[in-house]
Amino acid sequence: MREGHEERRAASDGWGRGEVADEGRWFTYDVVATDPATHARAGVFHTPHGDIPTPIFMPVGTKATVKGLLPSTLEQMGTKILLSNTYHLSMRPGADLVAARGGLHDFMRWQGPILTDSGGFQAFSHEEFFRLSDEGVRFRAVDYDGSWVSWTPEENMRIAQQLGADIVMQLDQCVGWPAPRDKVERSVELSSMWADRCFAAHTRPDQALFGIVQGGMDLDLRVRSLRHLQDSGDFPGYGIGGYSVGEDQTTMFESLAPLVSEHMPMGKPRYLMGVGTPSTLVHAVGCGVDMFDCVLPTRTARMGTAFSSEGRLNLKNARFATDDAPIDPACHCPACAGGFTRAYVHHLVRQREMLGSILLSQHNVCYVLDLMRRARQVIIDGTYADFVAAWDQSPASRDW
What whole-number distance in Å separates Cα of residue 57 and Cα of residue 126? 27
Residues 245-260: b if buried by 16+ CB within 10 A, e if exposed: bebebeebbebbbebb
Q: Which helix (H) or strand (E) holds 5?
A: helix 5-11
Give me the catalytic one of 35, 206, 290, 293. Answer: 293
Q: Is 293 a catalytic residue?
A: yes
Residue stretches of the annotated binding site for Zn(2+) = 331, 333, 336, 363
CA atoms within 13 A on the CB side of 115: 28
Residues forming the annotated binding site for substrate? 117-121, 172, 214, 242
| DSSP-based three-state secondary structure for 232 | helix
Q: Give the helix/strand (H/E) hosting 368.
A: helix 354-381
30 is catalytic: no
DSSP tag of 207: S
Give CA–CA dist 60/298, Å, rounded: 8
The two beta strands, 56-58 and 291-293, are: parallel
For the annotated binding site, the residues are: 117-121, 172, 214, 242, 331, 333, 336, 363
Distance CA 11, CA 13 (A): 6
DSSP string for 68-93: T--HHHHHHTT---EEEEHHHHHHTT
The size of the chain, in residues, is 400
Identified catalytic residue from 117, 206, 328, 399? 117
In this structure, how many other beta carbons lie within 10 angstroms of the beta carbon of residue 124? 18
List the catalytic residues: 117, 293
